[in-house]
Amino acid sequence: MLFDDYKLHTDTVIRPSLLWEYDLSRFDWAKMRNVVVQRVLERGRMDDYYAMLNLYGWEGVRDALRMIPYMNRKDMNFACFVFDLKKEELRCYTMRPSHPLHGSF
């Protein structure tokens, strides 16, 4: 599966540009796990995924994905496919408004 070899990439780090608005010298990586996982999902490169998986582990990333309040459909489908999740497990899917908002696609 994709990213199965993440443990071979222990030297990777998450690009600071993904978290540009935070002071990374005082950043609490454990407390901000959901934010980090969402940013990597939305804008990450392979190295960002490897770093995220080494930081939080496979189950830690899956737990964070379940808690993210919003994902676009592409990211949701990717997350479900790669991390073996069902859409119904995702907060962003179960909390989705029953009527689309004006101007949404």
> d(Cα 27, Cα 72) in Å, to the nearest integer?
26
Q: pLDDT digit string (tens) for 7-54?
A: 999 999 999 999 999 999 999 999 999 999 999 999 999 999 999 999
Task: Report whether pLDDT(69) > 60.
Answer: yes
Q: What is the pLDDT of residue 99?
A: 59
DSSP-assigned states of every residue in 63-81: HHHHH-S---HHHHHHHHH
Q: What is the pLDDT of residue 100?
A: 61
Domain ranges of the chain: 7-15+32-94
Q: What is the pLDDT of residue 57?
A: 97
- Lookup result for tokens 């002071």: 23
Which ranges constitute the DSSP H helices of 12-72? 33-43, 46-67
